[in-house]
């Protein structure tokens, strides 16, 4: 009753192919956009921006990126942390080499650099599949982290080996550096997230997305009906790495401000993004958001309950957090392998009939 | 090629010159000879059946035609021109589509998306226009969607348009797979056991679809099938294979009376 599609008829194929064919969904989507752009910037404070909103927006980009590769094209990757590092270091090098370059362009260029690196490490996917490919991307992860540690040129020979983002201004507002306002950073990231999610949706509903899914579901059949496997896989690696690179660039420049590669972009990051995609739902853009929200919000919530409400010691709470999140991941894999996106779909189907059972 | 000879079938369809011609094809896997010196042609507008016992090399033959296997000896002639070695996806762009013995649909995708994927050889827009969606990509999507809807109507699968194909029963999956191959508007349609595992009713439906495709779109069809009743009813000409060799070639009546074929199918007393 609350959620219905009855009485919704489409009279053209263009209408039928809309992202939100059901008016209720469409209204919800626009409402969310209005709240995100029009309400939250006026309410946001430092804690909310840094603990929840920024990580959510940035990891959502990374999760969409990995979902394109793993969820849509079926190529498992454990190299997300390394590719985020490429985005971050490309941003750093571009920011320091071209101080006048607009930050938006810097971040997009960093994405392109990562896309190129992603294609290079995607080449083995033409020969190997599944777990073996995962191991190959794991090699990328370790190699890239090692590279950024080993060669001082990447961190401009700084004594600490760290990279730190200089202050940059976009449209008169500071977006990086210590003085950037939370509302400005939030809006800056939100624009990237919304634009990239929209692009991802367009790609996945078009011919490009169908080629990826064809490769994922049955690569031999895909090739026989005319999909060039080389182009399909490498384009998925390129697009996916672009997203992950942009996420890494934002994470470093506007969120962290300074980073050390092993700490900020280690193997934990790869697993974090992979968990987001698995918990959110493979092959779903909504799922990427849901997974990012879950993995960002849940630890914060647990910490607030255990430390704030129950008054436990911080280190005990941190250990419990690991146990609970780990257990939840296992439960998700067993109970709902298609993730939060599938749960949401089931909830919608129940809502269609509610409160009558038939 | 010399002047194309055409002839007319008993039911009044015109059969043209060879679309695809195999000349002395030999295919080996290590020491195993899967196909041994086979030559035959497929003519424009006909329904050509390839039959034979299990392991005779029929599926390998289809795999040679669509470039999945490359024969060690012999050549494939496409419309009288020798075909250069190509990857399967390139051959798909030449207008050859096929279905598989064990259904090879994209299980995570809906019926509609599966059949839309079949049209990709006709879709020209690139990744950059897909990013923007509005304009070229959307128009192309709508134009091709119309073509796909016609196929959906033709195969009578309107109700399962948006169902993920993994959830469909076997018979419907076979039909969707045929739809995906048809969506490419192929010059030559290869069907690998389109009726395997079907009941009589489903077989009748499938035979009707194959005949209609041939009749309405003029599509040339080469099919592998084990059900002799079906083959003898719908095929114009039949190739019979056994142990990688061709043992018969001709109209159903000629093949039926061929002693080698009878021996291969019924067994022969060795004395």
Q: What is B22-67 written as a DSSP string?
A: EEEEEEEETTEEEEEEEEEEEETT-EEEEE-STTSSHHHHHHHHTT
Q: From the list A13, A202, A221, which residue is nearest B142 (CB)? A: A13
**Which residue in A has a C-alpha nearest to residue B100's C-alpha?**
A221
Contacts of A228 in chain B (CB under 8 A): 87, 89
Whether residue B80 sits in one domain with residue B119? no
- Cα–Cα distance measured from residue A113 to residue B84, given in angstroms and rounded to the nearest whole number: 38
**In a domain? residue B7:** yes
Tell me if A131 sits within 8 A of A76, measured CB to CB.
yes
Tell me if A65 sits within 8 A of A244, measured CB to CB.
yes
**In a domain? residue B170:** yes
The reported pLDDT for the residue numbered B2 is: 44
**In a domain? residue B113:** yes
Report how many domains make up chain A: 1
pLDDT of A4 over the 70 cut: no
Which tokens sit at A14?
A: 């263009």
Q: Whose CA is closest to B187, among B64, B16, B12, B3?
A: B16
Q: Which pLDDT tens digit goes with each residue over A144-156?
A: 999 998 888 988 8
* Cβ-defined contact of A13 to B145 (cutoff 8 Å): yes
**In a domain? residue A307:** no
DSSP 3-state of B241: strand
Residues 6+ apart with CB under 8 A from A54: A185, A186, A189, A254, A255
Residues A305-310 have a mean pLDDT of: 83
Interfacial residues of B (vs A; Cβ cutoff 8 Å): 66, 68, 87-89, 92-93, 97-98, 100, 104-109, 113, 116-118, 120-121, 123, 125, 127, 130-133, 137-138, 140-142, 145-146, 149, 180-181, 184
Whether residue B64 sits in one domain with residue B20? yes
Report how many domains make up chain B: 2
- Cα–Cα distance measured from residue A143 to residue A150, given in angstroms and rounded to the nearest whole number: 10
- Cα–Cα distance measured from residue A74 to residue A222, given in angstroms and rounded to the nearest whole number: 13
Contacts of A216 in chain B (CB under 8 A): 106, 108
**In a domain? residue B100:** no
pLDDT of B4 over the 70 cut: no
Whether residue B75 sits in one domain with residue B192? yes
DSSP 3-state of B237: strand
Whether residue B194 sits in one domain with residue B72? yes
Q: Which pLDDT tens digit goes with each residue over B115-149?
A: 999 998 888 888 888 888 888 888 888 889 999 99
Query: CA angle, corner A165, sides to A160 and A168, nearest 5?
Result: 155
* Cβ-defined contact of B121 to A225 (cutoff 8 Å): yes
Tell me if A91 sits within 8 A of A107, measured CB to CB.
yes
pLDDT of A89 over the 90 cut: yes
Q: Which of A206, A242, A285, A342 has the highest number of chain B CBs within 10 A, making it the mutation to test binding with B?
A: A206
DSSP 3-state of B8: strand
pLDDT of B46 over the 80 cut: yes
pLDDT of B266 over the 50 cut: yes
Whether residue B145 sits in one domain with residue B84? no
Whether residue B193 sits in one domain with residue B119? no
Ranges A68-77, A214-223, A251-260, B124-133: which has the least confidence: B124-133
**In a domain? residue B271:** no
The reported pLDDT for the residue numbered B269 is: 67
The reported pLDDT for the residue numbered A29 is: 87
Q: Which pLDDT tens digit goes with each residue over A324-348?
A: 888 888 888 888 878 888 888 888 7
Contacts of A214 in chain B (CB under 8 A): 106, 109, 117
ipTM: 0.88
Residue B180's pLDDT band (cuts 50, 70, 90) = very high
CA B94 to chain A, closest CA, distance in angstroms equals 9
pLDDT of A311 over the 90 cut: no
Q: What average pLDDT does the structure give for chain B?
A: 87
**In a domain? residue A24:** no
- Structural domain ending residue among the three candidates B185, B217, B236: B185
Whether residue B196 sits in one domain with residue B88? yes
**In a domain? residue A17:** no
**In a domain? residue A289:** no
Residue A143's pLDDT band (cuts 50, 70, 90) = very high
**In a domain? residue A162:** yes
| More confident of the two residues A129 and B11 | A129
Residues B246-267 have a mean pLDDT of: 85
Q: From the list B66, B106, B118, which residue is nearest A217 (CB)? A: B106
The domain of A136 spans: 40-267
The reported pLDDT for the residue numbered A7 is: 65
The reported pLDDT for the residue numbered B264 is: 80
Pairing of strands B237-242, B245-250: antiparallel
- Structural domain ending residue among the three candidates B146, B163, B185: B185
Whether residue B7 sits in one domain with residue B74? yes
**In a domain? residue B4:** yes
**In a domain? residue A352:** no
- Structural domain ending residue among the three candidates B185, B213, B241: B185
**In a domain? residue B101:** no
DSSP 3-state of B239: strand
DSSP 3-state of B219: coil
**In a domain? residue A51:** yes
Q: What average pLDDT does the structure give for chain A?
A: 87
Q: Does A220 touch chain B (CB under 8 A)?
A: yes
| More confident of the two residues A347 and B179 | B179
The reported pLDDT for the residue numbered A94 is: 93
Which tokens sit at B241?
A: 């294979």
Whether residue B214 sits in one domain with residue B112? no
**In a domain? residue B255:** yes
Whether residue B110 sits in one domain with residue B41? no
pLDDT of B171 over the 50 cut: yes
DSSP 3-state of B163: coil
pLDDT of B3 over the 60 cut: no
Q: Whose CA is closest to A68, among A258, A175, A200, A158?
A: A200
Alpha helix positions (H), B160-248: 170-183, 200-212, 228-234
- Cα–Cα distance measured from residue B81 to residue A313, given in angstroms and rounded to the nearest whole number: 80
Whether residue B74 sits in one domain with residue B117? no
The domain of B153 spans: 106-185
**In a domain? residue A187:** yes
- How many CA atoms lie less than 13 Å away from A150 in the CB half-sphere? 6
Query: Which CATH number covers residue B79?
Result: 3.40.50.300
CA B188 to chain A, closest CA, distance in angstroms equals 13
pLDDT of B270 over the 70 cut: no
pLDDT of A173 over the 90 cut: no
- DSSP assigned state of B69: S
Q: Which of B111, B131, B140, B179 has the highest number of chain A CBs within 10 A, making it the mutation to test binding with A?
A: B131
What are the residues facing B15 on neighbouring strands?
Answer: B7
Q: From the list B104, B133, B149, which residue is nearest A221 (CB)? A: B104
């Amino acid at each position: 009753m609350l959620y219905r599609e009855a009485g919704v008829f489409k009279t053209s194929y263009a209408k039928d192919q809309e992202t939100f064919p059901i008016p209720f969904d469409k209204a919800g989507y626009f409402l969310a956009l209005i709240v995100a752009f029009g309400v939250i910037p006026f309410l946001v404070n430092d804690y909310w921006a840094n603990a929840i909103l920024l990580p959510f927006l940035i990891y959502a980009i990374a999760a969409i990126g990995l979902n394109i590769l793993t969820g849509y094209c079926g190529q498992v990757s454990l190299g997300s942390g390394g590719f985020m590092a490429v985005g971050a270091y490309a941003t750093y090098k571009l920011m320091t080499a071209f101080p006048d370059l607009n930050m938006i362009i810097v971040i997009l260029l960093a994405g392109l650099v990562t896309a190129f690196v992603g294609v290079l490490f995607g080449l083995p996917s033409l020969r190997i599949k599944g777990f073996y490919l995962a191991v190959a991307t794991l090699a990328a992860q370790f190699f890239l982290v090692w590279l950024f540690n080993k060669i001082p040129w990447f961190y401009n020979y700084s004594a600490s080996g760290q990279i730190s983002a200089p202050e940059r201004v976009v449209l008169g507002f500071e977006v990086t550096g210590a003085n950037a306002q939370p509302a400005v950073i939030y809006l800056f990231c939100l624009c990237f997230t919304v634009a990239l999610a929209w692009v991802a949706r367009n790609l996945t509903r078009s011919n490009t997305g169908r080629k990826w899914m064809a490769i994922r579901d049955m690569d031999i059949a895909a090739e026989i009906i005319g999909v060039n496997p080389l182009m399909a896989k490498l384009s998925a690696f390129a697009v996916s790495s672009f997203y992950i690179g942009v996420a890494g660039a934002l994470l470093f420049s506007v969120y962290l401000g300074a980073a050390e590669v092993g700490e900020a972009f280690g193997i934990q990051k790869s697993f974090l993004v992979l968990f987001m995609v698995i918990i959110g739902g493979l092959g779903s853009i909504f799922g990427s958001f849901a997974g990012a929200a879950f993995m960002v919000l849940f630890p914060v919530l647990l910490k607030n309950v255990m430390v704030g409400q129950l008054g436990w010691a911080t280190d005990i709470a941190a250990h419990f957090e690991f146990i609970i999140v780990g257990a939840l991941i296992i439960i998700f894999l067993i109970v709902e392998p298609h993730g939060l996106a599938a749960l949401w779909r089931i909830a919608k189907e129940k809502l269609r009939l509610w409160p009558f059972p038939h | 090629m010399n002047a194309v000879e055409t002839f007319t079938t008993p039911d009044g369809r015109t059969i043209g010159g060879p679309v695809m011609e195999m000349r002395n094809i030999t295919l080996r896997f290590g020491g195993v000879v899967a196909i041994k010196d086979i030559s035959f042609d497929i003519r424009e507008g006909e329904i050509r059946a390839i039959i034979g016992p299990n392991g005779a090399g029929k599926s390998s033959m289809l795999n040679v035609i669509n470039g999945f296997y490359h024969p060690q000896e012999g050549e494939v002639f496409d419309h009288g021109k020798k075909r250069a070695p190509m990857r399967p996806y390139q051959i798909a762009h030449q207008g050859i589509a096929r279905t598989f013995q064990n259904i090879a649909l994209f299980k995570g995708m809906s019926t509609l998306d599966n059949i839309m994927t079949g049209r990709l050889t006709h879709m020209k827009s690139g990744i950059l226009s897909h990013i923007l969606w509005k304009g070229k990509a959307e128009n192309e999507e709508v134009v091709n969607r119309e073509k796909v809807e016609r196929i959906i109507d033709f195969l009578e699968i309107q109700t399962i348009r948006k169902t993920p194909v993994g959830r469909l029963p076997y018979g419907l999956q076979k039909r969707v797979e045929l739809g995906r191959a048809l969506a490419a508007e192929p010059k030559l349609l290869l069907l690998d056991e389109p009726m395997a595992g079907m009941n009589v009713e489903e077989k009748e439906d499938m035979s009707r679809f194959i005949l209609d495709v041939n009749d309405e779109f003029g599509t040339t069809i080469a099919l592998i099938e084990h059900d002799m009743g079906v083959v003898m009813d719908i095929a114009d000409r039949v190739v019979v294979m056994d142990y990688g060799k061709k043992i018969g070639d001709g109209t159903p009546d000629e093949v039926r009376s061929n002693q080698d074929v009878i021996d291969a199918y019924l067994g022969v007393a060795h004395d």
